[in-house]
Amino acid sequence: MDGDGAGPGDDRVVRSETTTLSVGEGRGRREVDVRGYTAGSGDPVVLLHGCGLDAATVSYRYLLPELAADHRVHAIDFPGHGHSDKPATRYTTDFFRRVLDAYLEESGVESPSLVGISMGGSVALGHALEHDVDRLVLVDSYGLGGDAAWRPAASVGLRIPMAHRGWWQGLTASPSSVRGHLRSVTAGTPPADLVEDVYAAVQDDAVGRTVRSWQRSEFRASGLRTDYRDRLAELEAETLLIHGRSDPLFPASWSERAAESLPNGSVRVYDRTGHWPPRERPGRFNDDVVGFLS
């Protein structure tokens, strides 16, 4: 998906461009180069990926060009991921929200629809609670629950010197090690092209530093830091929640419960699907998202 791939008159060609954004306020303000991917024309849609093993070209390899038939589509690599800068900074959900705000302002995008998966779902939801958006799609989204069964062990491991680094180095060492990890978060054998995309996305050691920083911010001793459940009734935008029934990270019950709390929410749960519906069930996922946003 990275770069141009068709004739110059084809609006569906995915083009990439690096934009320097000014993120934060006061002494904490910094400039960061962010890679953005755009295609199509029409009402704007912004695609937000998850943390760590993800990037714009991973989760949205197949959705972006399909949406571009009828929309102006934007996807960004968050800092610490993909082809964007990976500064040594404190990565938090709020930091990624500020990046999104800066990107929308710099790009002149107003009232877009947002699609967010995992951590990107929490960024999309947090933005939608404070700004006008057209429609919202949350995919196996973080931010819809206060705790998870694996969180106590994760929060302890994050505070053991070298433990997280050793885990990350083992996970990213080879395509076979990436495949083994993906088996633990997807349902069944992960698609070969997903293994290839994830392996390419995690070869920079700085990505591991990003993951460790974000997880240390979010996976606290008392629970998960970002939890928007008590604000869902405020959200006016029509919202579609998509969730894999076999997601081992964030249970499908989170999305089912959220749909009941949202004024304009609906949910679709995919059987035999884990944490990555856009890549485990790309045909159904694309049909559902394109149909909803149209």
Tokens describing residue 281 = 């069930």
CA distance linking residue 123 with residue 142, whole number of Å: 9
pLDDT at 170: 92
Residue 9 has pLDDT above 70, yes or no: no
Angstrom CA distances, 13 to 2, 228, 278, stand at: 10, 36, 20
Q: What is the mean pLDDT of residues 89-117?
A: 96
Close Cβ partners of 188 (under 8 Å, ≥ 6 residues apart): 272
The pLDDT assigned to 206 comes to 95
Q: What is the pLDDT of residues 229-246, one digit of tens each?
A: 999 999 999 999 999 999
Question: How does residue 272 score in pLDDT terms, banded at 50, 70 and 90?
Answer: very high
Report the C-alpha gap between 125 and 137 in whole angstroms: 9
Residue that is written with structure tokens 């390899």 in the block? 61
212-223 pLDDT, tens per residue? 999 999 999 899
CA 268 to chain centre: 18
Write down the pLDDT at residue 6.
38
Q: Which two tokens stand for residue 272?
A: 């035999």
pLDDT at 30: 81
For residue 194, the 8-state DSSP code is H
Q: Is the pLDDT of residue 207 over 80?
A: yes
Rounded Cα gap, residues 183 and 149, in angstroms: 18
- Axis crossing angle, helix 205-218 with helix 163-171, rounded to the nearest 10: 130
pLDDT of 23 reads 86
What are the residue ranges of helices labelled H in 149-189? 151-157, 163-171, 175-185
Q: Of the ranges 88-97, 153-162, 211-220, 233-242, which one carries the lowest mean pLDDT score?
A: 153-162
Whether residue 219 contacts residue 164, with contact meaning beta carbons closer than 8 Å, is answered with: no
Q: Is the pLDDT of residue 8 over 50?
A: no
Distance CA 291, CA 31 (A): 37
pLDDT at 136 over 50: yes
Give the pLDDT of residue 198.
97
pLDDT of 278 reads: 98
Q: Give the per-residue pLDDT at 238.
A: 98
Span 259-279, average pLDDT: 97
Q: What is the pLDDT of residues 163-205, one digit of tens each?
A: 888 988 999 999 999 999 999 999 989 999 999 999 999 999 9
* 4 pLDDT tier (thresholds 50, 70, 90): very low
